[in-house]
Amino acid sequence: MAGQATVADRARRNGAARGDRGGGLRSRLPSLRGVTRLGDGLAGFGKRAGAGLGRPVARRIQRSLAADLDDRDPDYVREQLPLLWLVMSLWFRGEVRGLGNIPEQGPVLLVGNHSGGNVPADTFLFTLAFSTYFGVERRFHQLAHNLVLAFPVGRMLRPYGTVAASREHAQRALDADAAVLVYPGGDWEVHRPIWERNRIDFARRKGFIQLALDQGAPIVPVVAIGGQETALFLARGDRIARALGIDRLLRLKVMPISIALPWGLNVGDFLGHIPLPSKLTIEVLPPVDLEAEFGDAPEADEVYDYLVARMQEALSTLVAERRFPVLG
Amino acid sequence: MRLNESIEIAAPRQLVWEYVTEPSNCLHFMSGVTRWEVVGEQRTGLGSRYRMLLRVGSAEVGGLIEVVEWQPPGDMAWSSVLGVDQRGRWRLRELDDGRTRVELRYAYGVAGAGISGWIAELVSAPQLGDHLRRSLRQLKREVEHERLRSDAARRRRERAAA
């Protein structure tokens, strides 16, 4: 019960009306619908298995997904920077260009291409670069798949400002003048096979465009290369995901298959993998003011095509600079 | 981690002092520095603040610094207000025949970062030391060139007056 109270408290702090209980909370926070579905799914699984662990696990997952923007801890980020710097400098030889293109203040929607499976090293490189460039004091949130936050690693990510991907969380963060990093391609793009590594693939997900328009936030495209060379990604396994029903249960559209350290053949990538020391390069492009560029009521399709084309062009330039896979 | 580099410059101390304390010169001679901006109204002197960034490895590190000691034309020290913990000092001492010994001290770290912080300091030290040495060599070139130009200008003025 104490856990449920915590969820309600956090939801209230995040803008839900006073006096909401379980049902009201669900209706007021659409982001939690998926969470609840995930929790209930796991609870159902637990019951079926006769283990009796389903409900506590589901409650724990619900707690971890009821993200509180105040979970971000600048001191924690600051103390983790040396470790991030070591890994990114020595293992990935990371390079981030164009951070000066990010507006110095105010809300910003950073839209990136997602790579690296369940160990997206370029996200950590960008977090390091952003935090050292603007200082840990500047609010910076990253939207992540529910499953990432439900796993134990989620506990380590929340102080960085990582919250479950939902429109409500993004709105609240932008309202607080934060920079918000979104990966529209999400699980679909991050598990793309290696022969599609140099392709921007947002799977026609356009929610971020309306979000930027509603919040009046400029979109800053962030293009990364190298992340998809940290393992040999073979297939998304989307048919397997549908056949197993995990697309409905876990909101997971893929069951990726890869060859990765230390597992060899890696199905699902649920435990992550040891990434190969691929050189990572990130280029931040100039901001796009949607209203200035496309008028008062821009067509989402038009903006989507423009952004993807622009990011693809930048990615192709980075590809041309790269002489060898992994080595860079 | 504390780094210390020094060099002798064939120019009077006042000239070196004027060059190193002028904020607009920092991007010209300081190696690895990608940003050095005056923050606030005060450009120089005790209490003046700058936003600086230095490329080290995969990141541009730095933050907001403030001048905490200002004793012209000998000592200037700064300390971090935001960002990575750092202290730096320019120490200028007069030598014979109008030469100046310039010492640049730089101490940095991240308090509370534990063993990873300690390792990061060790790993970054050679690169930062290299930046300091290059900065001093570049400073020597710039100031000595500046001295030659000012001497030539003075001689021209004297010839014109004669």
Mean pLDDT of B143-154: 91
Residue among B1, B27, B2, B63 nearest B139 (CA): B27
Q: Which of B112, B114, B119 sits opposite A86 (nearest CB)?
A: B119
| Chain B interface mutation, best of A80, A81, A122, A137, highest count of B Cβ atoms under 10 Å | A81
Domain check: are A18 and A82 in the same one?
A: no
Q: Which of B83, B114, B120 sits opposite A85 (nearest CB)?
A: B120
Instruction: Give the residues across from B38 on adjacent strands.
Output: B50
Q: How confident is the model at residue A266 (pLDDT cuts 50, 70, 90)?
A: very high
Among A46, A65, A84, the domain boundary falls at A65
Of chain A, the end-to-end C-alpha distance in Å amounts to: 52
pLDDT of residue A45: 42
Instruction: Say if residue B113's pLDDT is above 80.
Output: yes
Domain check: are A99 and A148 in the same one?
A: yes
CA distance B36 to chain A (A): 12
**Domain tally for chain A?**
2
Between helices B114-161 and B13-21, what is the axis angle to 10°?
120
pLDDT of residue A86: 97
Mean pLDDT of B14-40: 95
Sign of the Cα pseudo-torsion (B23, B27, B32, B36, in order): positive
pLDDT of residue A15: 38
Instruction: Say if residue B95's pLDDT is above 90.
Output: yes
> Six-digit token pair at A274?
């040891």
Residue among A182, A161, A148, A157 nearest A271 (CA): A148
Domain check: are A291 and A166 in the same one?
A: yes
What is the complex's ipTM, to 2 decimals? 0.89
Domain check: are A122 and A6 in the same one?
A: no
Q: How confident is the model at residue A76 (pLDDT cuts 50, 70, 90)?
A: very high
Element of type H or E holding B54: strand B49-56
Residue A43 or residue B154, greater confidence: B154
Please indicate, yes or no, if residue A51 is contained in any of the structural domains. yes
CB–CB of A89 and B63 under 8 A?
no
Question: Chain B partners of A82 at a C-beta cutoff of 8 Å?
Answer: 110, 113, 116-117, 119-121
Among A36, A65, A94, the domain boundary falls at A65
Mean pLDDT of B61-87: 95
pLDDT of residue A154: 83
Q: How far apart are CA A309 and CA A301, in angstroms?
A: 12
pLDDT of residue A261: 93
Domain check: are A15 and A36 in the same one?
A: yes
Domain that holds residue A35: 2-65
Element of type H or E holding A76: helix A74-86
Question: Chain A partners of B63 at a C-beta cutoff of 8 Å?
Answer: 135
Element of type H or E holding A312: helix A300-321
Element of type H or E holding A188: helix A186-190
> Six-digit token pair at A57?
């696990």
CATH number (domain holding residue A261): 3.40.1130
> Six-digit token pair at A205?
């997900």
CA distance A136 to chain B (A): 7
Q: How confident is the model at residue B119 (pLDDT cuts 50, 70, 90)?
A: very high
Please indicate, yes or no, if residue A326 is contained in any of the structural domains. no
Domain check: are A132 and A183 in the same one?
A: yes
Q: How far is CA A188 from the centre of its chain?
A: 12
CB–CB of A132 and B112 under 8 A?
no
Lowest mean pLDDT across A85-89, A244-248, B23-27: A244-248
Mean pLDDT of A173-193: 95
Domain check: are A105 and A209 in the same one?
A: yes
Domains of chain B: 2-161 (3.30.530.20)
Domain check: are A82 and A208 in the same one?
A: yes
> Six-digit token pair at A53?
């662990």
CB–CB of A135 and B116 under 8 A?
no
* Cis bond upstream, residue A262 (ω within 30): yes
> Six-digit token pair at A218?
């400029």
Q: Are B100 and A149 in contact (CB under 8 A)?
A: no
> pLDDT for A105-154, tens place per residue?
999 999 999 999 999 999 999 999 999 999 999 999 999 988 888 888 88
Among A38, A65, A92, the domain boundary falls at A65
Please indicate, yes or no, if residue A104 is contained in any of the structural domains. yes
Instruction: Say if residue A259's pLDDT is above 60.
Output: yes
Q: Are A257 and A215 in contact (CB under 8 A)?
A: no
Domain check: are A21 and A7 in the same one?
A: yes
Mean pLDDT of B114-128: 95
pLDDT of residue A58: 67
**Rg (chain A; Cα; Å):** 19
Question: Chain B partners of A75 at a C-beta cutoff of 8 Å?
Answer: 112
This prediction's pTM: 0.84
Q: Are B154 and B132 in contact (CB under 8 A)?
A: no
Please indicate, yes or no, if residue A328 is contained in any of the structural domains. no
Q: Which residue of B has its CA nearest to A75?
A: B112
Domain check: are A8 and A113 in the same one?
A: no
Q: How confident is the model at residue B132 (pLDDT cuts 50, 70, 90)?
A: very high
> Six-digit token pair at A212?
């930027």
Q: Which of A78, A86, A129 sits opposite B123 (nearest CB)?
A: A86
Domain check: are A109 and A88 in the same one?
A: yes
Question: Chain A partners of B114 at a C-beta cutoff of 8 Å?
Answer: 79
HSE (side-chain half, CA atoms, 13 Å) at B102? 32
CB–CB of B57 and A89 under 8 A?
yes
Domain check: are A182 and A135 in the same one?
A: yes
Q: Which of B110, B116, B119 sits opposite A78 (nearest CB)?
A: B110
Angle at A203 between CA A202 and CA A205, to 5 degrees: 75
| Chain B interface mutation, best of A88, A133, A156, A278, highest count of B Cβ atoms under 10 Å | A133
CB–CB of B114 and A86 under 8 A?
no
pLDDT of residue A32: 36
| Chain A interface mutation, best of B53, B58, B85, highest count of A Cβ atoms under 10 Å | B58
HSE (side-chain half, CA atoms, 13 Å) at A245? 6
